[in-house]
Amino acid sequence: MKVLVLNGSPKKKSDTFRLTESFLKGLNKKEKHDVDIINVIEKTVAPCRGCFKCWEKMDGHCVMEDDQNEILDLYTKADLIIWSFPLYCYSMPSHLKAVLDRTVPLVKMRMVEEQDGRIHHEAGADFSKIHTLVICGCGFPDWGGNFDGIRAMCRQCFCGLDMVCVSEAPLLNVPAATVVAEPLLQKFERAGEEYGETFHLSPETVAGLETPMIPKAEYLRNVNGG
């Protein structure tokens, strides 16, 4: 299996990417997969300028010559794409959003309507074989609607989607919180094993991964210095 990991964290010591690393460890436990990890912050990916010249060429590439075309080549060859990122203003970091915006060369101008009435651009690449996993962490202590926006966007943008949203992610890099962080990392490793067997995460698995590590009141006291 070819796996493309788009690491959207701007920090080398990323809270969210610790979860992704554990997932990959589990995924590779029974069978070693071909994994490409792109640290997007290190790449040059300009914002989409909406010229749609890519729809004239239809070669799967953007007319802007930067690192995005390398990413697009990996994107279309992948069996699994993992979008790993921290929640920024209830969405994904801007440098990663630029990567998503510039996947326009992979669709056509022509629009099609699904049986449910949803209209989208016709695919210019074979998306039917691509599975998508989104791993998103945030610094809030609970859900409380914090992930609603990113969930809605990902459901519209990605095919074969599984999504895991983790609150209290900063605890993953706090030494004193190892006692609660390590069990979560172990859960992600087991989730990777599960995914390797089924190409899917069960609702029960996702619920376990998304359970906060400590109670909200305790988290708030620690954040606020109480």
pLDDT at 144 over 90: no
Give the tokens for residue 44.
Answer: 């040059």
pTM of the model: 0.96
Burial class (CB in 10 A: 0-12, 13-18, 19+), 5: buried
Give the tokens for residue 130.
Answer: 């691509």
Q: 201 phi and psi, to 5 degrees?
A: -110, 130
The DSSP secondary-structure symbol of 47 reads P
Q: CB-based contacts of 167: which residues, under 8 Å, 6+ apart?
A: 137, 138, 140, 141, 142, 143, 146, 210, 212
Q: What is the pLDDT of residues 19-64, one digit of tens each?
A: 999 999 999 999 899 999 999 999 999 999 999 999 999 999 999 9
Give me the residue label for tokens 């087991």. 190
CATH 3.40.50.360 assigned to 2-223: yes
159: nearest Cα among 61, 80, 96: 80
Distance (Å, whole) CA 65 – CA 144: 41
> In which element (H, E) is residue 169 found?
none
Mean pLDDT of 67-79: 97
Domain boundaries, the chain: 2-223
Q: What is the pLDDT of residues 197-213, one digit of tens each?
A: 999 999 999 999 999 99
